[in-house]
Structure 1
């Protein structure tokens, strides 16, 4: 798409360095986050939908959620869609030609309003398949809406969205004998995660956008089935607080929720209810700052202006479950 600003010199440099050594390749790819430009509407506003944990060939109410997304997307005249990961179940894609891409994405999100750019991160289930397949430009030839990278930035004028690859931060995944993970491009993991954090901090520091939004698959704070991700509490949360991030958006827990940070205006927003949900368990010990929790299927919308942000959670029938607004001047909510 002509709205995407690809950093071609950086890509060429990365390919040359690949011949030198694998570790140098990691530094070259991650040393500067690729940035994509996405303009706001003519009135300066920005609207988008947030969906996670969805790819099940339409099953578990995925198709029903998609229908409601199309209706809300049309009403809001959305600019794009954010996917918070676990894009294809149960084990990502087997390759670039895996029919799951068409069956779980192309043929499901068919509404006219959803024919906009989709910005996606990888989830832990995606890492169980061929990770490089989801990142491949070939998928964009099949459906130009698709854009999935490990970590990147979307500059949408009044908002900067920072997409972060969170799966390699979770230590348990490296010790799971029952599941195989594709760590291609990640090892050595300590180097990889360190550079991810350095790149994010650099991007946050240079951002002058009115709104700063960080997107990752795993929750920093959650009362859902998985709960808090301790590695992100330790390593990512301090950056979110230090650089005045407004929202951290994630999936992983198959629910919808909002939790307020106790040390900053930061809001933790979970939208991981794109298909299979109803886990039925809540971690009460994590409930400090909890504003909203729903265990069923649904999605979230976001509308931004220069001064106000409105987030709305919807269920599988399109009913509004929870609405929250904040003003940059007042930092108030309703």
Structure 2
């Protein structure tokens, strides 16, 4: 009996050490103010308005979604974000059913749990939201303190650090501008939206803006070198003349599951795609492509009165691209 008890005790101690060892292996190491682990190439911008841009992320933590979230948190020790922008497709495959849908917890609250990510999230509707209850995406703002979405399209003015200048962020609902959606049964809910009214609202919002920077966020890109580069650019056809008229500085989109910077020579606006918050797809280039990459990741943007710095960070914590836009 004593030998049996002795064997059980030894086995228990051995199991405890194994468990502790595995727990140490699983333990996540986060950077702090004095350690930038894996982010050595990240450019620090003093007195900048910092924000992150991520899209196409709602995969319950799979396809590197959780790793991207952890890296966003780590980046936040260096560039503390004032807010985070989502370029849409927040919940796959069919959006959510209601504000009580468990996807809000499993794909958002439980994934972006790092305390550097507890800042306002300004949300954009993607096409997958239209496969479910798109109104619930808006209404969740009444439940979550950090989920910000007052309407299907809206704008938010932000003050720049150490400056009297402002930046106007304009959030669009681009699915109603996708002409082919009106012919597809699964997107039948777009017929309830008035795209002409939204376009008139956009022009009024740009015309009245006195901001130093005008930045637009929508789900569908104007230009892409990804999977859809041969598709008809419906949103671009509807809106590009307008945003060029008012010399919009940058347009951030998702939809393509990759990371892109496109800048045609004959347009004023810089076009970014940040749709690699989880699963990615192969991408390519166009004659005017500045950057294109099919790794999971996000964008960190630092805004000063006369400069915008965009840095792209992959799920492994590598700064794989940066570009500076000057006014």
TM-score bracket for the superposition, by shorter chain length: 0.7 to 0.9
Deviation (angstroms), 1:259: 0.5
Which residue in 2 is equivalent to 1:310? 309
Deviation (angstroms), 1:141: 4.5
For residues 51 and 277 of structure 2, the distance between their equivalents in structure 1, rounded to whole angstroms, comes to: 15
1:105 paired to 2:108:
yes
Which residue in 2 is equivalent to 1:256? 259
1:211 paired to 2:213:
yes
After superposition, the Cα gap between the structure-2 partners of 1:306 and 1:229, relative to the gap in structure 1 and judged at 3 Å, is farther
What TM-score, normalized by structure 1, do the two folds share? 0.79
Deviation (angstroms), 1:181: 4.4
Counterpart contact for 2:85–2:121, Cα < 8 Å: yes
For residues 324 and 283 of structure 2, the distance between their equivalents in structure 1, rounded to whole angstroms, comes to: 28
Which residue in 2 is equivalent to 1:182? 189
What does 1:115-264 align with in structure 2 at a 5 Å threshold? 115-136=118-139, 139-148=140-149, 149-157=151-159, 158-177=166-185, 179=186, 181-183=188-190, 186-187=191-192, 189=193, 192-227=194-229, 230-264=233-267
Unaligned runs of 5+ in 2: 1-45, 160-165
For residues 48 and 232 of structure 2, the distance between their equivalents in structure 1, rounded to whole angstroms, comes to: 33
User: Which secondary structure does the structure 2 equivalent of 1:240 belong to?
Assistant: helix
Counterpart contact for 2:309–2:324, Cα < 8 Å: yes
Which residue in 1 is equivalent to 2:319? 320
Counterpart contact for 2:258–2:283, Cα < 8 Å: no
Unaligned runs of 5+ in 1: 1-42, 329-334
RMSD: 1.6
What TM-score, normalized by structure 2, do the two folds share? 0.80
Counterpart contact for 2:283–2:292, Cα < 8 Å: no
Counterpart contact for 1:44–1:306, Cα < 8 Å: no
Greater Rg, structure 1 or structure 2?
2
Give per-residue Cα distances to partners, 1:241-265, cap 9 Å, x unaligned.
Answer: 1101110000000000001132233
